[in-house]
Amino acid sequence: MSVNSFGNILRLTTFGESHGFAIGGILDGFPSGILLDTDFIQNQLNKRRPGQSKITTSRNEPDKLRILSGVFEGKSTGTPIAFMVENSNQRSSDYHTIADSFRPSHADYTYSQKYGIRDYRGGGRSSARTTVSQVIGGSIAQHLLWPLNIRITAFTSAVGNIKLNKLPEELDFSLIEQNLVRCPDMEIAEEMTSFIEKIKDEGDTVGGIITCMIENVPAGWGEPVFEKLHARLGFAMLNINAVKGFEIGSGFDGIKLKGSQHNDLFFVENGKVFTKTNFSGGVQGGISNGQSIYFNVAFKPVATLLQNQKTINAALQEVSINPGGRHDPCVVPRAVPIVEAMSALVLADFFLLHNARKY
């Protein structure tokens, strides 16, 4: 049990806090001989990066990837790929006012209780900055899926009450990077952006949903009982900061359907198997069935407000705080590459496991 690791045959172990010299990780089990597209990795990092637009925090971290090992002349060597991103533009001073207080719905209190010690400079290990390592690890993992033509696409499908109501086949993924919220519908995106700006002006925050589509996963990945493919995906998503829910396929809405409505009927076309509907979300009995995998991930509103809030301090006295730092009004747009990265880690791991048995 490595509590800061994720995955089995392909395993990412991460380190680092919001403040400190660097954050990073080690990706172990990555096969040799694969040319790494570092532009792709850096680009995914840039999508997660703070300060990228008017609706994100104004902190400006360059987040420059540095690979420490496991790559020689551009190719993976089969040995652990270690990487780091130096922490810069840390304004610990932002946190002095709250060093002694437990911010509401933050991890300040729970970390104090767990560790008996607290790095008061910005949340330490609980900071969403730790997701930098996940984006890097997952973006490297993606390289294993490309030759199989597997395409992972995450996008914002809800912000507060504003929801994208489109069928998967109506989506135009090329629009995702055309707007600030990463929603594949320019009108809804505009609505979401305006709403986030309004919320930001109030010093408040709002939650949202990211939907992820994974195309071209072959049938047969996932394990029957305790490593169901969607359970691993759910586990991956629920480990992302601020996530409170996960549903695959019909999810929570599916409970309202009858079995006769919900069953995905098989049919054959050109010798290939398809289903007429896809309420299963591409996974049946924990194993991929060859249809598109899709799932929703719910992100709660960011806990850090630019408002006064009552709370308690370490001496259990009532205090009032106004964190006053530079934070996001809505975490969802920046979380899109994280959802993609964690999905890639899950799929690449199952791919290797699937290979293991194919002999």
Ranges within 94-113 binding its own copies (CB under 8 A): 102, 104-107, 109-111, 113
Closer CB to its own copies, residue 96 or residue 172? 96
Separation between Cα atoms, residue 96 and residue 322, nearest integer Å: 11
Comparing CA positions, the residue from 14, 18, 37 lying closest to residue 134 is 14
Closer CB to its own copies, residue 184 or residue 329? 329
Q: Is 165 in the site for its own copies (CB under 8 A)?
A: no
Which one of residues 117, 165, 167, 174 is an interface residue with its own copies (CB under 8 A)? 117
Separation between Cα atoms, residue 12 and residue 338, nearest integer Å: 14
Q: Is 22 in the site for its own copies (CB under 8 A)?
A: yes
Minimum distance, C-beta of residue 155 to its own copies, in the bound complex (Å): 15
Give me 126's structure tokens: 């609980």
Q: Is 178 in the site for its own copies (CB under 8 A)?
A: no
CB 55 within 8 A of CB 196: yes
Give me 68's structure tokens: 């420490």
Instruction: Kindly identify the residues of this chain, within the stretch 196-255, that bind its own copies according to CB under 8 A.
Output: 199, 202, 204-209, 219-228, 230-232, 234-235, 238-239, 241, 244-252, 254-255
Q: Which stretch binds its own copies (CB under 8 A): 37-45, 165-173, 186-194, 316-324?
A: 316-324
Closer CB to its own copies, residue 3 or residue 167? 3
- Between the alpha carbon of residue 234 and those of residues 54, 94, 208, 227, 328, the distances in Å are 31, 34, 17, 11, 24
Q: Is 143 in the site for its own copies (CB under 8 A)?
A: no
Q: Is 298 in the site for its own copies (CB under 8 A)?
A: yes
Residues touching its own copies: how many (CB under 8 A)?
A: 152
Instruction: Kindly identify the residues of this chain, within the stretch 23-52, that bind its own copies according to CB under 8 A.
Output: 23-26, 28-29, 31-33
Give me 55's structure tokens: 């609706």
Closer CB to its own copies, residue 95 or residue 246? 246
CB 288 within 8 A of CB 230: no
Comparing CA positions, the residue from 4, 12, 42 lying closest to residue 342 is 12
Closer CB to its own copies, residue 46 or residue 92? 92
Listed in sequence order, the residues at least 6 apart from 78 whose beta carbon sits closer than 8 Å to its beta carbon are 30, 31, 32, 33, 70
Minimum distance, C-beta of residue 96 to its own copies, in the bound complex (Å): 15
Separation between Cα atoms, residue 249 and residue 191, nearest integer Å: 26
Listed in sequence order, the residues at least 6 apart from 10 whose beta carbon sits closer than 8 Å to its beta carbon are 27, 28, 29, 30, 141, 144, 345, 348, 349, 352
Minimum distance, C-beta of residue 40 to its own copies, in the bound complex (Å): 20
CB 289 within 8 A of CB 280: yes
Q: Which stretch binds its own copies (CB under 8 A): 20-28, 54-62, 89-97, 175-183?
A: 20-28
| Apex 340 CA angle, 253 and 171, nearest 5 | 60
Q: Is 325 in the site for its own copies (CB under 8 A)?
A: no
Instruction: Kindly identify the residues of this chain, within the stretch 266-285, that bind its own copies according to CB under 8 A.
Output: 266-268, 271, 273, 275, 279-281, 283-285
Closer CB to its own copies, residue 174 or residue 315? 315
